[in-house]
Structures are given as C-alpha cells and as structure tokens.
Amino acid sequence: MIKSINLVNFRLFDKLNLEFNNSFVILSGKNATGKTSILEAIHILSTTKSHRTIDVSEAIQFEKEYSKIEIDNDKKYKIVLSDKGKSLFINDREIKKSGDYIGNFNVCMIAPADISLVNGSKQDKRRFLDLNISILDKRYINESSKYKKLLSERNSILKNGNPDKTMLNIVTDDLINSLKYIYESRINLVNDINSYLDEICKKMNIEHIELKYEATYNPSNIKKSFDSKLESDLLYKITQIGTHRDSFKILINNLDASSFASEGQSRIIYIAIKLALKKIITLKDKEPVLLLDDIFQALDKSRIEALTEYVKESKQVFITTTSVLEIPDEILKNAVVIRIENKGENK
C-alpha cells in the first residue's frame, strides 16, 4: 500500500508531499489543478510509461532540468526523468534494466485516455498489450527488445540495393522465433481478458464484449507468410508483416465497437476491459493499486454500484473527482479526502 508520494518539478507541481495510511484516497478539486498528474506520476513510477503521452519527459516541469517521483510502498521506488532518459531506483539502488524494475510495484489505471482501446490506433492497442504483458512476464520484455533489434536489422538488409539473401534468411528465422513468443503471449492475455469479460459485463449490465486479435500473418505457418511477402518486402524495402503491425478489434454484440459503439458504450467498454485486466494481475499475485481518473461522473446508478463492488475488493484505490458528491458513500466513508487547490496546492 502506498504510504507517501513525493513529486519534484512534475507537471504543475514544484514540490508535492502527500502522506496517508488509507485504502481509499480521494483527490478532489477543480479541473487543471493537478489531480490527474498525481495518478500519472504513480503510473509512471510503476510502469516507466505515462498514460497521457508517449514521451514521459513531457511531464518535466517547463524549463526544469529534471523531474523526480518517489513513493513509499513498503519498498521505496524512485524515478528521475531528464532529457537524458529515466533513472530507476528501488530502495535507493539503481536498476539499470527496465525489465528488472517493471512488475515490482503494479497499478491498474482507468482513465478517459483509455478510449484509445476502442477507437485508437493500432499502435495504441499494441502498446496496451505490450505494457501489461511486461508486468506479468519479464521474458516478454527481452523478447520484445530482441524482436525490435532483429526487425531493424532485417529492414536494413531490405534497404540494401543488393541484399544478402543468406543473411536475410537467417535474420528472418530469428525474427520469427521472437515473433512466436510475442504472438502467443498476446493471445494468452486477450483470451484471459475475454474469459473475465462475461462476468463483468453481466454485473455492469453491459452488452457482450470480446477482444479479437488480428495478426498480419498466418499464425499456423508464419514462415510461409514471410516467404509469400518477401518479393513485396524487397520492393518496398520494409518488413510488412509481424507483431509490429498486429492489433486487436473490440466487438460489442459481434459488431466492431470502433464503428458502432456510442461514446457512452465506449466508456463502459474500456472500464470493463481494465477491470478484467486488474483481475488477471491480481491472480498472478501482483495485486495492483487501482487508479480511477474521473470515472464515476460518467456512469449511471446501477453501474456505479457495480463498479463500487470492484473498488471495495481492491487493496488500495486512488480516485480523482471534481466533487466528492460523485463518490459512493460506501467508498467515501472509509476514504481520506485530499483537496487539490490551484496550481498543485493541496489541503
């Protein structure tokens, strides 16, 4: 359980120190006061990634050289952001590899930005899979890194005016070996999410939701798929199939949610998917801190009641809101409420 948060030069905050010993922490305040930034900081500290931007250095306060995030969660976790990159620490010991850092302290965040799961780009969807598999499986990080290097090497060979076919075959075979592990890991996560969605959809009174993985090759004969694309790859000088081009589709009542789901349905869809993900992480003995960013205001009474049950079974939850009146009494009565005032001030 998070006991304290310390931010330096992060977004609106020159300095912020918060201490608490509660399972439910509510961050209340007007829009643009920094509530979401606190959740973003926790998310970065857990995953080394921001849920708001690809480049985490954007979180460094303007004209400052660095930003620091510290959390005491039984162990002490710290990340220092600068234009040189990220420095990671556990109990003041620097962790050189992100693969050795990720998965030690876990979060599950549900935020408006998750709408990208429904109607975002293929890159958004791949990023969702890759980040969450990395929490559950350290080998996945290594295989993903290996795949990226092999992909770059294969593309360099393809761009050569007279490519070495022998070397191209060797690199392609190695690429396929990494691809198989990445594909199988993604399929396993998608299947696990689907296995919990039925129950969640029933409890939250949602139409049937299903994730469908979309591979750019034939998974039962990947080598043949690459061979059939070789002439085209040589022509365009780039690898056109692989897990770097894969994605997934979300179906609602067997229809493509990106085309047929309303804004309200899209919001419920990503909440349900994230709740399924939280269940998966918890069952892997990696129970996450649940981060809810302005979620309750968009739900009707029955769905608020259903979500409240999932919140109550969480070890620790951080909730942002513009008004505590939006928070169910069952949560509010056991929560500490921290008021975030203008430009990152708190009371």
What is the pLDDT averaged over residues 242-264?
96
Cα distances (Å, whole numbers) of residue 340 to 29, 320, 335: 5, 10, 15
Which residue segment(s) compose the domain that 62 sits in? 1-106+288-347
Model confidence, pTM: 0.93
* Tokens (6 digits) for 297: 């205001």
Indicate whether 50 and 166 sit together in one domain.
no
pLDDT tens-place string over residues 52-96: 898 999 999 999 999 999 999 889 999 999 988 999 999 999 999
Question: Same domain for 75 and 166?
Answer: no
- pLDDT, residue 345, reads 57
* Residue labelled with tokens 């998974």: 219
Encoded amino acid at 250, one letter: I
| Whether residue 294 has pLDDT greater than 60 | yes
> Residue 173's pLDDT is what?
98
309-336 residue pLDDT tens = 999 999 999 999 999 999 999 999 999 9
CATH number at residue 17: 3.40.50.300
Which pLDDT tens digit goes with each residue over 108-165? 999 999 999 999 999 999 999 999 999 999 999 999 999 999 999 999 999 998 899 9
Residues with Cβ within 8 Å of residue 177, at least 6 apart in sequence: none
Check residue 346 and give its pLDDT: 59
Whether residues 140 and 234 share a domain: the answer is: yes
Biggest CA-to-CA distance, the chain = 71
Last residue of a domain, one of 285, 308, 326: 285
Question: Which pair of structure tokens corresponds to residue 257?
Answer: 């949610």
Q: 253 and 211, same structural domain?
A: yes
